[in-house]
Copies of this chain bind each other. A is one copy, B any other.
Amino acid sequence: MTTNKLRGRGRPRTFDPAEAVASARILFHARGYDAVSVSDMTTMLGINPPSFYAAFGSKISLFKRVLDYWAGSGAIPMESILRPDRPVSLSLAVLLEEAARHYASDPSAAGCLVLENTRCDDKDAREAALSFNVAAEDAIREYIALRHPENADCVADFVSTTMSGLSAKARNGHGLAQLLATARLAAIALKGVLPH
């Protein structure tokens, strides 16, 4: 994490931007883009606003860096779950259970970073989160379509909707056990609609 990129000539930084991105993820995940102020961020990082803007440019560009960072490190590993060597309904059931586990894993940052921020008030942040959400939904839909093209759209919508619900409920009182039970109940519908 301490990526001291080879230093050039000026005064050295007093903080590590990569670590700052990881810290920013915690804040954005816990409270959402709108509710985190640049002042909150600079206080947590122990720096002043000019250092923040010199390193990241703007609040929204830091948020985009956080999304990129999280997609490659902490988010649900879709490609390892949506495997071609097991039944689609099983893969989707695993996906929902994994979502339940992820969303409940850190009570101080419950739910999905991407899904929660697809509903924030800042247009740019919302659209940035939405693009990640759309990409994930496309991956799910295409995975289903490989073996169940006729049901891909509505099943993908159902899975996406259930994940949104799981994320929302993770933030409003549902714990791991409840989320898992809901995920397993949803999987019943998947088994029922996908020929096996």
Contact = CB atoms under 8 A, between A and B. Distances in A.
A34 to B, nearest CB: 6
A169 interface: yes
Interface string A104-131: 0000000000011011010000000010
B169 A157 contact: yes
Contact of A157 (B31, B34, B160, B178): B178
Given A157-B182, A158-B182, A189-B192, A130 B174 contact: no
A189 B130 CA distance: 28
Contacts of A32: 121
Contact of A160 (B115, B155, B160, B169): B169
Nearest to A192: B188
B193 A35 contact: no
Interface string A147-182: 000000011011011111110110110100011011
Interface size class of A (residues with CB under 8 A): 35 or more
B193 A119 contact: no
A154 B169 contact: no
Contacts of A116: 119
A40 to B, nearest CB: 12
Contacts of A136: none
A157 B154 CA distance: 22
A130 to B, nearest CB: 7
The winner among A116, A121, A165, A166 for most chain B CB atoms within 10 A is: A165
A161 B169 contact: yes
A172 B132 CA distance: 13
B189 A185 contact: yes
A188 B158 CA distance: 12
